Amino acid sequence: MIPLDRSRRAFLKTSAALAGSTHIINGLVHAQPIQSSGPLLAYVGTFSSPLRDVLPTQVDLPPGNGRGIHLFTVNRDTGAMTPAGIHEQGTSPSCLALNASGTRLYSANETDRVGADKEGTVSAFAINRADGKLELLNTVRSGGAGPTYVSVHPSGRFLFVANYFGGSVAVLPILPDGHLGDATDVRHDAGKLGPTTAANAPPGSFAFSGHDRTHAHMIQADPAGRFVLHVDLGLDQIFVWKFDQEKGVLTPGEQPAVSLPPGDGPRHFHFHPNGRWFYSIQEEGSTLVLFDYAAATGRLASRQTISTLPPGFAGSNFCSEILISADGKFIYAGNRLHDSIGIFSVGSDGTLTFVGEEWTRGNYPRSFNFDPTGQFLYCCNQRADNIAIFRVDRKTGGLNFTGNYASVGNPSIIVFLDVAKVG
C-alpha cells in the first residue's frame, strides 16, 4: 500500500503499460493458487434506468449506463473478471442479495415505481447453477419508494428492504419455492430531521445528501436473527427492532433507537465477526462509529468515533460502504469524491486505528466486496463505469491494485457465488 497521491501519480504515468501488460502484473501479484472444483461467479447490480429524471432528488443517480444485472466468471488466481451474460433490467437493480444455498438472487429495483403512491419493487430470481443465468420468479412491491437495500434473514425465510425515498422498511416473506410474498410488515420512519451541516464534517465540506426528509438506507438482522437494525440517514438514527420469526413482524426493541451526531447521516453498518462490536459509517460526517452490541437485548452503546479520511483532509466527501475482513482484523471505509478506501486496524478492544488508504482507480466508489476467499477486494466505481480489483494483504490490511478492471456501466454492488461451496 502506498500514499494516495503517490499512487495516483504513478498510475497516470503507467496506465498505458498496464493496459498492455495485464498478464505480467497478474503473475507478479499472484502468490498461492486457489484450488476449487467449480466456477466462481459474480453478479453486479447497476443503475440502469434510461430516464435521468426518474428520481430527480437523488444526488448521485446517473442516467443509467448499466443494463441490469451483469454476470461474470472470476479467475480464482488473478481475480480477473470475464463477462458471462446480462439479465436486462431497466429498473436499476442497485442492491443484490443471495440466499445461503446460492439458488436465489433478490434485487432492489431502485428506480421502479408502481401504483399511485409510486412504490418501488423487489424481484426474485432463480439461479441456473450450470451457467449462472437468472430466471425471474416474481416482482413485488417494496413497501415504499426508492428501495435501496435488501438483505436475507439468517433463517432464509424473510427478505428485508430499506426504501430510501419512502423513508420506510419492509419485511417480505420468502416462500418455499423462492418467490416473494406481499409484505408482512412495513414501518415508516418518523422524527426530527437532522441539520444540513454535519457535526463531524471535514473543514470546508459542502456535503449534503439526505436531510431533506426521512431516508431509510440499510436494514439487516443481527447474526442471531433475533433483532433487526436499520439506519435512517435523514433522522441520524439507528433503529433496533425485535423480530418475530413466525409472523415476520417488527416491534420496537428495548432501546428503540440510537442517535448519531446531528447531520452526520448514518448510511451502512457491519457487525464484527465476534458479534459484540458494531460499526456504523456516516455519509455526510465521514466517520466510523464503534458501538458495543448486547446480543441479548439489542442495545447499542457508542465508544469511539474516527474519521474515514486521512489526517488534515479538508473539503467535501460522501462516505459509502463499510466492510470488515473475515478475521475481524481490518475495516475498510469507502470515500466518494475523495475516491479512496480508508483502511483501519481493529484493536483487541474493537477500537480502530487509521492504517492508510488506497485510491479506487475510478471515481465515486459506491460499494465494494471481498471474493469468498478474502484475497481480493472488488470496488464498484459508480461514475467511472468500472470495477477495480485489488489483492488484499492479510497481514497489513493493504490493498494492491492488480491491474485488472471490469467494464460495467454505473456499477452499484457486487456479490459472489462460489458454485463449488454451496449446495
- Number of independent structural domains in the chain: 1
**Contact yes or no for 220/239 (Cβ under 8 A):** no
Evaluate whether residue 163 is within a structural domain.
yes
How many angstroms separate the Cα of 300 from the Cα of each of 236, 258, 319, 349, 402? 15, 7, 22, 16, 39
Domain span holding position 341: 95-418
Per-residue model confidence (pLDDT) at position 1? 52
Q: Which residues of the chain have pLDDT under 70?
A: 1-37, 50-63, 423
Evaluate whether residue 140 is within a structural domain.
yes
The Cα 148–Cα 150 span in angstroms is 7
Evaluate whether residue 263 is within a structural domain.
yes
Q: Is the pTM of this model over 0.85?
A: yes
pLDDT digits (tens, 9 = 90+) for 6-25: 455 444 444 433 333 333 22
Evaluate whether residue 127 is within a structural domain.
yes
Evaluate whether residue 254 is within a structural domain.
yes
Per-residue model confidence (pLDDT) at position 36? 52
Per-residue model confidence (pLDDT) at position 26? 32
pLDDT digits (tens, 9 = 90+) for 363-385: 999 999 999 999 999 999 999 99
Side by side, the strands of the sheet bearing 330-336 are 318-324, 330-336, 340-346, 352-359
Evaluate whether residue 313 is within a structural domain.
yes
Per-residue model confidence (pLDDT) at position 41? 98
| DSSP secondary structure code for residue 390 in this structure | E
Q: Which of 74, 94, 1 is nearest to 358 (CA)?
A: 1
CATH number at residue 308: 2.130.10.10
Look up residue 277 and give its three cell numbers: 462490536
pLDDT digits (tens, 9 = 90+) for 261-304: 999 999 999 999 999 999 999 999 999 999 999 999 999 999 99
Provide CB contacts within 8 A for 146, sequence distance 6+.
55, 58, 110, 111, 120, 163, 164, 165, 166
pLDDT digits (tens, 9 = 90+) for 54-88: 454 455 555 678 999 999 999 999 999 999 999 99
Per-residue model confidence (pLDDT) at position 423? 63
- Burial code (b: 16+ CB inside 10 Å, e: under 16) for 172-184 equals bbbeeebebbebe
Evaluate whether residue 323 is within a structural domain.
yes
Look up residue 111 and give its three cell numbers: 428506480
Evaluate whether residue 212 is within a structural domain.
yes
